[in-house]
Chain A
Amino acid sequence: MASTLGTAQAPPVAPVTRGETGRARGRRGGSYPYWFYLPAAVIFTVFFLIPTIASFYFSFTRWDLFTSTWIGLDNYKTFFEEQALVIGLRNTLIYATMTAGLKVVIGLLLAVLLTSKIIARGYLRSVIFFPVLVSTIGVGLTFTALMNPELGLINKALAVIGITGPDWLVDPQLAIFSIALVDVWAGVGLATVIFIAGIVSIPSDYYEAAQVDGASRFYSFLHITLPLARPAVATVVTLALIGGLRSFDLIWAMTGGGPGFASDTIGSVIYKQYQAGFYGLSTAGSVVLFLLVSAIIVPLTWWLNRHEVD
Chain B
Amino acid sequence: MRFNKSGPGRAAFVALATASTLFAAGCSAGSLGSSEEGGGGGQAGAVTITFLHGSTDTDVASAKAIIEAFQAANPNITVKDDSRPGGSDGDNLVKTRLATGEMAEVFNYNNGSLLQAIKPEQNLVPMDDQPWASTLDKTFVDSTKAADGKLYGGPWGTVQGGGVLYHIPTYQKLGLEIPQTWDEFMKNNEEIRKAGIDPVIQSYGETWTSQLFVLGDYHNVEAQVPDFAAQYTAGKMKYANTPAALEGFKHIQAVLEAGYFNKNYRSAELNDGIKMVADGKGVHYPQLGGVTANIENVAPGKSNDVGFFPLPGNDPATFGMTVWPGNGLYIPKTVEGDKLDAAKKFVEFMTTQQGCDAYAKGTPPTGPFLTTNCKLPADVSQAAKDTQSYIESGKASPALEFKSPIKGPALEQICIQVGTGQVSAEKGAALYDEDVKKQAQQLGLPGWE
Q: Which residue of B lies closest to A170 (CB)?
A: B266
> Of the candidates B6, B16, B263, B444, which one forms a contact with A150 in the assembled complex, judged by CB atoms under 8 Å apart?
B263
A46 to B8, CA, bound (A): 12
| Contact present for A66 and B439 (CB under 8 Å) | no
| Contact present for A56 and B417 (CB under 8 Å) | no
- Whole-angstrom distance between the Cβ of A248 and the nearest chain B Cβ: 14
| Contact present for A170 and B13 (CB under 8 Å) | no
Q: Which residue of A lies closest to B439 (CB)?
A: A276
4 nearest CB pairs, A to B: A260-B417, A276-B409, A170-B266, A65-B99
- Whole-angstrom distance between the Cβ of B12 and the nearest chain A Cβ: 5
List residues of A whose CB falls within 8 A of some B CB: 46-47, 50-51, 53-54, 56-57, 60, 62, 64-66, 69, 78, 81, 83-84, 148-150, 167, 169-172, 256-262, 272, 274-278, 281
Give the chain A neighbours of B10 by CB distance below 8 A. 54, 57
Give the chain B neighbours of A261 by CB distance below 8 A. 413, 417
A257 to B263, CA, bound (A): 22
A276 to B12, CA, bound (A): 26
| Contact present for A51 and B119 (CB under 8 Å) | no
When A and B form their complex, what is the total count of cross-chain residue pairs whose Cβ atoms lie within 8 Å?
101
Can you list 23 contacts pairing A with B, beta carbon distance less than 8 Å?
A46-B16, A50-B12, A51-B13, A54-B12, A66-B99, A148-B267, A149-B267, A167-B266, A170-B204, A170-B266, A259-B416, A259-B417, A260-B423, A272-B409, A275-B409, A276-B88, A277-B91, A277-B92, A277-B95, A277-B117, A277-B409, A278-B442, A281-B438
Apart from the given pairs A53-B2, A150-B263, A169-B267, 19 other A-B contacts in the complex at a CB distance below 8 Å: A46-B12, A57-B6, A66-B99, A66-B119, A69-B444, A78-B438, A84-B410, A149-B267, A172-B422, A259-B266, A259-B416, A259-B417, A260-B413, A260-B414, A272-B409, A275-B409, A276-B409, A276-B438, A277-B117
- Whole-angstrom distance between the Cβ of A90 and the nearest chain B Cβ: 14
Interface class of chain A by DSSP? loop
Interface class of chain B by DSSP? helix
Within 8 A of A (CB), among B256-276: 263-264, 266-267
A203 to B205, CA, bound (A): 54
Give the chain B neighbours of A46 by CB distance below 8 A. 12, 16
Q: Which residue of B lies closest to A46 (CB)?
A: B16
A66 to B123, CA, bound (A): 10
Give the chain B neighbours of A275 by CB distance below 8 A. 88-89, 91-92, 409
| Contact present for A54 and B204 (CB under 8 Å) | no
Q: Is B122 an interface residue (CB 8 A)?
A: yes
Q: Is B291 an interface residue (CB 8 A)?
A: no
Give the chain A neighbours of B119 by CB distance below 8 A. 64, 66
